[in-house]
Amino acid sequence: MGPNNNLTGVGIIGTGSYVPEKIMTNEDLEKLVDTSDEWITKRTGIKERRILDKDKATSHMVIEAGKKAMEDAKISPEDVDAIIVTTVTPDMAFPSTACIAQEKLGCVNASAFDLEAACSGFIYGLSVAYGYISSNMYNNVLVVSADALSRITDWTDRGTCVLFGDGAGAAIISRVPENKGILSLDIGADGSGAGYLELPAGGSKNPATMETVNNKMHYLKMEGNEVFKFAVRKMNEASRKVIKEAGLELEDIDFLVPHQANIRIINSSRKKLKLDKDKVYVNLDKYGNMSSASIPVALDEAIKSNKIKKGDNVILVGFGGGLTWGSCLIRL
């Protein structure tokens, strides 16, 4: 999708985020599996991650992040026309987590649904919100990306359990002044890589049985090397595509907010886009990979800490299971 041709733009007018209080450090993981702080830090850049309390569900994080985004945007719950929750860990198969959160948020006028694009979910959610607003169907859309990956992590698998954490990030998408907001968007998928990152059981293919539980099929499975290769390639390609579609050059980019999966992937993207370290937001060390929540949590922190300033050209880019990818060039 290229530049918005409306008289007004479509963009983010408020952000919010929430991470659980409970911290699990690399040292804590050393007591669970055969690993070490040095090994995890060197290969991933992760030092700690947040874990959602057992008596809470993904909707709790959606509500907390959503409230903050509405407050930041200075709009009331009644002003929200749609709630899109992107998640791979819904409270349950149905009703949607968005519907569960809608009631608690007080967004009585909003349609509500979940969207699943794994770690690319926030960019996919942005693209749907962009379509709603640019077509004049809605005025304000709340996009909340939230995942409780600790619930689908096998804590005996040292290849995956060191990577993931829980959290939620939210944004209010609305009309903004001309030449601001979303300048270009790119989302895509490659289903031939579906088996590289999956949750094998719990759906219609492998409903829950004693066998699926005993075989640990309700935990996330990943072929890390394949996902890594895909991520390095797609993060660069998708970023360059939205720069070109917006009619800008590499040197016009002020900031990069990437999906927080692995520091080596982030550094590769930074170098290919010729950006200095201080132009890339990294919170991977604190939170690990929070799936679709990674980008909006990082964006919220970068804005609130004044790393990103008004008028900056910012790339949001991610990749995930599906395989999927998404990138967005936004002017704040």
Give domain limits for the chain.
9-178, 183-331
With b meaning 16 or more CB within 10 Å and e meaning fewer, what string describes 68-87?
bbbebbebebebbbbbbbbb
Catalytic pick among 140, 262, 283, 289: 289
Catalytic pick among 99, 107, 119, 161: 119
> What are 131's two structure tokens?
């379509």
> What are 8's two structure tokens?
């007004």
| Active site annotation includes 289 | yes
Q: Residue 200: helix, strand or coil by DSSP?
A: coil
d(CA 284, CA 294) in angstroms, rounded, equals: 8
Average pLDDT over residues 170-189: 97
Residue 111 pLDDT exceeds 90: yes
Catalytic pick among 259, 262, 283, 328: 259
Q: Residue 92: phi, psi to the nearest 5?
A: -160, 170
Amino acid 8: pLDDT: 76
Pairing of β 9-18 and β 22-25: unpaired
Average pLDDT over residues 247-274: 95
The closest of 196, 183, 218 to 118, measured between CA atoms, is 196
Query: If you search the block for the tokens 């026309």, which residue do you land on?
Result: 81
Q: Does domain 9-178 have CATH number 3.40.47.10?
A: yes
> What are 142's two structure tokens?
């709340």
| pTM listed for this prediction | 0.96
Amino acid 6: pLDDT: 47
Are 9-178 and 183-331 equal in CATH topology?
yes
Average pLDDT over residues 242-247: 97
pLDDT class for 2, splitting at 50, 70, 90?
A: low
Amino acid 275: pLDDT: 94
Amino acid 1: pLDDT: 61
- Regarding the domain delimited by 183-331, which CATH topology (the fold level of the hierarchy) does it fall under? Peroxisomal Thiolase; Chain A, domain 1 (3.40.47)
The closest of 119, 115, 170, 120 to 141, measured between CA atoms, is 170
d(CA 260, CA 147) in angstroms, rounded, equals: 13
In one letter, which amino acid is 123? Answer: I
